[in-house]
Amino acid sequence: MHGVSPRVTGTTDWQTPVRPGGGGHLLVVPVDGPDMRVRIAGTASDEEAAAIASALAQHRPGSDPIEVYIGDADEPAVVHDPEEAATAETDPGADDTEASGATAAATAGGPTERERTLRGEIADIYAGGPEKYRERLAERGKLFVRDRLELWFGETDPVPGERDWDADTEVDPPAGLLFEDGRFANFDGWHPDAPGPDADSDDRLPADGLLTGAAEFTDRKLHFMANDFTVKAGSMAEHGVEKFLRMQQRALKTGRPVLYLMDSSGGRIDQQRGFFANREGIGKYYYNHSRLSGRVPQICVLYGPCIAGAAYTPVFADFTVMVEGMSAMAIASPRMVEMVTGEEIDLDALGGPEIHTRHSGSADLVARDEQHARDLVAQLVTYLPDNSDEKPPRADSRDPEKSPEGIDSVVPEAPNESYDIHRVIERVADAGSVFELQPEYGGEIVTAFARIDGRPVGIVANQPAKRAGAIFPDSAAKAAEFVWKCDAFNVPLLYLCDTPGFMAGSQVEKEGILEQGKKMIYATSAATVPKQCVVVRKAYGAGIYAMSGPAYDPESTIALPSGEIAIMGPEAAINAVYANKLDEIDDPEERAEREAELREEYRQDIDAHRMASEVVIDDIVPPSDLRDELAARFEFYETVEKDRPDKKHGTVI
């Protein structure tokens, strides 16, 4: 009762000491008839009067009404009628329009006016920025951020612009949203009821345009952030930055994944002093991203333009999904690019999905729409643990989509004949489990999550259908990053090797073939998860190194009968070693015959049988048995532990 001492007047027939709400003693006096009338100090509030009436009703038997007067008032502040209270309990819809707010609270135990006011403020916050900006989102087919949270964590599939977000309408949060932090961020800066002197209702900044909290997603608990594009185009300022940083720091403590739902134009330039270069400013985002990297999965979905500083969150994330027709990210806006360089370019051509999934490699996947983006992430997380201390989740085993008995017919006998490595993968992996990342980037290597006998694995496979499976700079970089991520989150690795090696030539030298090849070899060398290498067909040059050959500590190196391991292929080797001797043969037919003999001798020296005989590899496996062989080996080596040398870190990045 916060120090308010109730006071009673009249003669005393009997006394009942009561401490409503922890207040002082109350002397109850029946006066002039069956009703109980109580007078309390004039400084008491209606809510305190209601609490006293409710407490008296619990301590006093009978069904007589209780009246509570404040100070010298002639009319009671609260009338508690036990019969009405009983009706309210049995019929919540009973008419209580004549009851005051305090009386209703006392009668039914419902919320006070103070709570109703708070809920109204929350509803106003949920309404986001000015209504015209919500309407513009709907015109573009984009969800308002609160609807987006419903899509991700709720039980319905919202339609852009369909839901009523009027500030007077109370809307329940998504069923899977556990809590939201910082809803009242910057409240004093815009809300008309705020106590601060700077409130400006014409410039709505609810939640400071950035939402953070925790939610359940596909039965997994995670942290999330989401930009509200209706608030100054999703731009970031001091209070939103503080929320973002807290969310990241708490993820380090909880060891739970982080989901970034990005739709931001960058920082608010007119407010940069409050967040840009500060110790706890926006620059700390990327410091925290770096600390979280490899500790918990960081997944980013782009729903709009992410420009300047905002563009670094998607590239720091472990996995990034862009949405067709919506997403873009770039270090500067088209207008800034034109001002600085003179280049005229639109945002999609500057940093749209095609740029970052085909050319830069900064994004992993492109979704058709918002629902598809959610579905992609829902599938992705099934291969990942919550953090680096845990194992990835298992699933029920399923037969492969195609029979393993067809593997040998898929792989051509001729080493230079093209085929699609996906036709091998679908005969090894559980049906429906193959989840390929960056399919449009560095296509000479396929990187994909999959399951073998229910166990998640990361597949790194050369693609003979794309430039013979030679390793180019972009495909090497793609493979290195994928291996690094799999190792960070304890996903075993399966290498399917069929490559002529690293590509040669002046163009790839300019593109950094040695530098990117080094990174791929480094990632393979440093990985401590169980690794299996399968020599599907050719393993020439340093390709066998990058694909975790015998020298790179795989748990096994096995080959199909079509396998070959050599410094180079037969044609190149014969030309390098015997070119002069062959040139001495004048008869073309004789020269061709001798060249064929030398080529056959060379192939016999490098084929899988010779490698197995010399114990270079562990075994030659009948192709139809490959899936069962891999399942047995991954299960057997599941608990293997490997140590890196005791050092601070390597120097290859």
Please provide the DSSP assignment of 476-536 as one string.
HHHHHHHHHHHHHTT--EEEEEEE--B--SHHHHHTTHHHHHHHHHHHHHH--S-EEEEEE
Q: Is the pLDDT of residue 640 over 90?
A: yes
Q: Is the model's pLDDT at 52 over the cut of 90?
A: no
Q: Please determine, for residue 92, whether its predicted confidence score (pLDDT) is greater than 80.
A: no
Task: Find the mean pLDDT for residues 80-90.
Answer: 64
Residue 60 banded pLDDT, cuts 50, 70, 90: low
In this structure, are 79 and 125 located in the same domain? no
State the Rg of the chain over Cα: 35
Domain that holds residue 98: 20-110
CATH number for position 481: 3.90.226.10
pLDDT tens digits, one per residue of 269-320? 666 666 666 777 767 888 999 999 999 999 999 999 888 878 899 999 999 9
Amino acid sitting at position 228: D
Mean pLDDT of all residues in 55-80? 79
Q: Indicate whether 297 and 435 sit together in one domain.
A: no
Same domain, 155 and 221: yes
CA distance 254 to 541: 45
Q: Are 485 and 550 in a shared domain?
A: yes
Does an H or E element contain 254, and which? helix 238-254
273 within domain boundaries: yes
H-run or E-run covering 234? none
- Residues 478/517, Cβ–Cβ less than 8 Å: no
Q: Does residue 401 form part of some domain?
A: no
pLDDT of residue 35: 63
Round to whole Å and give the CA distance between 332 and 176.
36
Q: What's the CA gap between 104 and 83, in Å, rounded?
A: 13
User: Same domain for 211 and 87?
Assistant: no
| pLDDT score of 22 more than 50 | no
Same domain? 151 vs 127: yes
- CA dist 559 and 566 (Å) reads 14
Contact predicate 231/128, CB 8 Å: yes
Helix/strand/coil for 179: strand
Termini Cα distance of the chain: 64
Residues 502 and 613 in one domain: yes
User: Helix axis angle, 473-488 relative to 513-526, nearest 10°?
Assistant: 20
Residue that finishes a domain, picked among 60, 77, 110: 110
pLDDT over 70 percentage in the chain: 86
Q: Are residues 135 and 76 in the same domain?
A: no
461, pLDDT greater than 50: yes
Which residue in 214, 281, 268 sits closest to 242, CA to CA? 281
Domain boundary among 51, 75, 110: 110
The predicted structure's pLDDT at residue 269: 65
Residue 544 has what pLDDT? 96
Q: Are 57 and 91 a contacting pair, CB within 8 Å?
A: no
User: How many folded domains does the chain comprise?
Assistant: 3
Tokens found for residue 265: 């134009």
Same domain, yes or no, for 144 and 211? yes
Instruction: Please report whether residue 12 resides in a domain.
Output: no
How much is the average pLDDT of 232-260?
A: 91
Half-sphere exposure in the Cβ direction for 351 (13 Å, CA)? 21
Between 185-194, 277-286, 420-429, the lowest mean confidence (pLDDT) is in: 277-286
pTM given for the model: 0.82
Indicate whether 228 belongs to any domain: yes
* 430 within some domain: yes
Determine the pLDDT at residue 609.
94
pLDDT band at 51, cuts 50/70/90?
confident
> What does the CA dihedral 641, 645, 315, 214 come to, rounded to 10 degrees?
50
Q: Decide: helix, strand or coil at residue 224.
A: strand
Q: Rounded to an integer, what distance in angstroms lies between the CA atom of residue 535 and that of residue 525?
A: 18
| Nearest in space to 211 (alpha carbons), one of 176, 175, 236 | 236
Q: How many CA atoms lie within 13 A of 101 on its CB side?
A: 11
Provide the CA 86 distance to its chain's centre, in angstroms: 50
Give yes or no for a contact between 358 and 431, defined as CB atoms under 8 angstroms apart. Answer: no
Question: Is residue 569 situated within a structural domain?
Answer: no
Residue found under tokens 């994944």? 257
Average pLDDT, the chain: 87
Residues 6 or more apart in contact with residue 164 via CB below 8 angstroms: none
Q: Which stretches of 263-412 are assigned E, i.e. beta strand?
A: 298-302, 305-307, 319-323, 328-330, 365-367
**How many whole angstroms separate alpha carbon 406 and alpha carbon 626?**
11
Tell me the pLDDT tens digit for each residue of 140-154. Answer: 999 999 999 999 999
What span, in angstroms and rounded, lies between the C-alpha atoms of 274 and 282? 10
Task: List pLDDT tens digits, range 486-541.
Answer: 999 999 999 999 999 999 999 999 999 999 999 999 999 999 999 999 999 999 99
Say what angle helices 101-108 and 113-126 make with each other, to 10 degrees. Answer: 100
Using pLDDT thresholds of 50, 70 and 90, give the confidence band for residue 374. very high
Is there a contact between 511 and 473 (Cβ–Cβ < 8 Å)? yes
Q: 15 in a domain, yes or no?
A: no
Q: Of the candidates 79, 110, 141, which is a domain's last residue? A: 110
Whether 390 is in a domain gets the answer: no
Mark whether 123 and 87 lie in a shared domain.
Answer: no
pLDDT of residue 585: 84
Q: What confidence score (pLDDT) does residue 89 get?
A: 52
Q: What integer pLDDT is reported at residue 501 of this predicted model?
A: 96
Is the dihedral angle over the CA atoms 153, 157, 158, 160 positive or is it negative? positive
Among the ranges given (3-12, 218-227, 458-467), the one the predictor scored with the smallest mean pLDDT: 3-12
To which residue do tokens 């109350």 refer?
26
pLDDT at 57 over 80: no
Q: Two tokens at 140? A: 């573009």
Residue 509: CA atoms inside 13 Å, Cβ hemisphere, count?
3
For the record, the structure tokens of 440 come out as 């449009």
Q: Are residues 501 and 519 in the same domain?
A: yes
Cα–Cα distance between 244 and 228 in angstroms, integer? Answer: 13
Q: pLDDT, tens digit, for every residue of 594-628? A: 888 888 888 888 999 999 999 999 999 999 999 99
Rounded average pLDDT over 395-414: 95
Q: How far is CA 51 from the centre of its chain?
A: 47
Nearest to 442 by CA among 324, 541, 337, 362: 362
Structure tokens at 557: 């190196």
Parallel, antiparallel, or unpaired for β 435-437 and 445-452? antiparallel
208 touches 242 (CB < 8 A):
no
**What is the per-residue pLDDT for 26?**
47
Q: Are 593 and 377 in contact (CB under 8 A)?
A: no
Q: Are residues 85 and 192 in the same domain?
A: no
**pLDDT at position 275:** 65
